[in-house]
């Protein structure tokens, strides 16, 4: 999608939300004007009050009806705007999924066409094979993320198999997988976790959390990717505080709580330029909750990096 097309799409979306808000504001203003005008009319005409002295309930019923109408209008507008935003997020998600699927598929097609050449050198043959393997891994990871998000959205709690895990070893393994799929050097992600730090939890779920956090940090870093994965034990609470820090584009403070919502992406040009579906951090938040923990995002602001923090119990009780 070109910048001009994207700008036009954003303008259409803005108009689609503005219209119900303007109509609702006008309807509420009209109701208020009627209410105020009605009250003023009765206050300025005592004879009208005298006529209604025996039927005061008519005035009360009229005022009550206007209040109920205003409340219904406001409530309807809130729900309508919420639905419009949800449709926008889903539309953006479909566009992102299309891009995420087409890119590796196009690369795989090109590799297969190149491999069909009879004069292809052996070294290039091996390089293309590795590229195809990486693209297949990328596709698999993406599809797994979408399927996980679908199950979590349906409130299907994933089955848990508790294991005593070395957090440093798991973090290094996850970091290696993410950097390989991103075609980056291993040293762009530094794991700063004590070897003796262990946690009893579901390894598959925690690995998915780490992979999504590291992938998110790399995706929203600049050209100079530098990600740090750290963890500390909070012995007094029986918890582990896990952090993934980057020096990337950052997050405005007003959006820090919303980045864990399904399909949500910060409405910023720097975010729209990067591939994404708005599912990664949603999966993180849902899986962390299933592991008895909580996730939060911290950032001083745009251009100042982001810290994604996950707090988990050191020993998860079996369900």
Residue 179 and residue 298 in one domain: yes
Instruction: Note whether 184 and 225 are within 8 A (CB).
Output: yes
What is d(CA 288, CA 282) in angstroms, rounded to the nearest whole number?
10
Instruction: Note whether 257 and 282 are within 8 A (CB).
Output: no
Residue 61 and residue 166 in one domain: no
What is d(CA 196, CA 38) in angstroms, rounded to the nearest whole number?
75
- The structure's pTM equals 0.62
* pLDDT score of 16 more than 60: no
Residue 33, domain member (yes or no):
yes
Query: How many CA atoms lie less than 13 Å away from 55 in the CB half-sphere?
Result: 6
Residue 318, domain member (yes or no):
no
Residue 149 and residue 176 in one domain: no
At residue 273, the 3 state secondary structure works out as coil
Residue 138, domain member (yes or no):
yes
Residue 269 and residue 187 in one domain: yes
Helices 122-153 and 203-219, packing angle to 10 deg: 110
pLDDT at 263: 76
Q: Taking Cα atoms as reference points, which of 180, 171, 100, 174 lies closest to residue 137?
A: 180
Instruction: Note whether 199 and 239 are within 8 A (CB).
Output: no
Classify strands 189-192 and 227-234 as parallel, antiparallel or unpaired. parallel
Residue 118, domain member (yes or no):
yes
Residue 217 and residue 238 in one domain: yes
Residue 319, domain member (yes or no):
no
What is d(CA 177, CA 304) in angstroms, rounded to the nearest whole number?
26
List residues bridging with 178 in a β-sheet. none
Instruction: Note whether 145 and 279 are within 8 A (CB).
Output: yes
What is d(CA 281, CA 274) in angstroms, rounded to the nearest whole number?
15
* pLDDT score of 158 more than 70: no
Domain assignment of residue 106, given as a range = 100-153
Residue 46, domain member (yes or no):
yes
Residue 31 has φ and ψ, to the nearest 5°, of -60, -40
Q: Each residue of 166-215: pLDDT tens digit?
A: 999 999 999 998 898 888 888 899 999 999 999 999 888 898 899 889 98
Q: Of 1-5, 187-191, 205-209, 251-255, which gets the smallest average pLDDT?
A: 1-5
Q: Each residue of 98-149: pLDDT tens digit?
A: 656 666 777 788 888 888 888 878 788 788 888 788 778 777 777 776 777 6
Enumerate residues 6+ apart whose C-beta is below 8 A from 169: 195
Cβ neighbour number for residue 134 with a 10 Å cutoff: 16
* pLDDT score of 297 more than 90: yes
Residue 48 and residue 109 in one domain: no
Say how many domains are in the chain: 3
What is d(CA 105, CA 122) in angstroms, rounded to the nearest whole number?
23
* pLDDT score of 317 more than 50: yes
Last residue of a domain, one of 91, 116, 139: 91
């Amino acid at each position: 999608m070109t910048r001009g097309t994207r700008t036009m799409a954003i303008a259409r979306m803005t108009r689609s939300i503005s219209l119900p808000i303007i109509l609702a504001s006008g309807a509420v203003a009209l109701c208020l004007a009627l209410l105020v005008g009605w009250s003023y009319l009765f206050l300025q005409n005592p004879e009208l009050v005298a006529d209604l002295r025996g039927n005061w309930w008519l005035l009360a019923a009229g005022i009550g009806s206007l209040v109920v109408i205003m409340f219904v209008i406001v409530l309807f507008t809130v729900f309508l705007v919420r639905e419009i935003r949800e449709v926008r997020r889903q539309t953006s998600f479909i566009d992102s999924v299309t891009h995420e699927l087409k890119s590796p598929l196009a690369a795989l097609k090109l590799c297969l066409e190149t491999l069909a050449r009879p004069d292809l050198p052996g070294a290039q043959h091996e390089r293309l094979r590795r590229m195809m393997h990486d693209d297949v891994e990328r596709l698999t990871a993406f599809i797994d993320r979408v399927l996980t998000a679908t199950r979590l959205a349906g409130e299907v709690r994933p089955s848990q198999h508790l294991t005593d895990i070395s957090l440093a070893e798991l973090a290094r393994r996850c970091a290696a997988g993410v950097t390989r799929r991103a075609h980056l050097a291993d040293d762009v992600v530094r794991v700063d976790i004590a070897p003796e730090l262990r946690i009893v939890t579901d390894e598959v779920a925690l690995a998915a959390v780490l992979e999504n956090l590291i992938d998110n940090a790399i995706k929203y870093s600049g050209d100079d990717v530098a990600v740090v994965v750290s963890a500390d034990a909070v012995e007094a609470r029986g918890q582990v505080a896990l952090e993934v820090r980057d020096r990337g584009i950052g997050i405005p403070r007003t959006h820090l709580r919303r980045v864990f919502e399904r399909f949500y992406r910060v409405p910023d040009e720097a975010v729209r330029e990067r591939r994404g579906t708005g599912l990664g951090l949603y999966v993180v938040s849902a899986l962390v909750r299933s592991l008895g923990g909580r996730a939060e995002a911290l950032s001083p602001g745009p251009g100042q990096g982001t810290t994604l923090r996950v707090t988990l119990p050191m020993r998860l009780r079996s369900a």
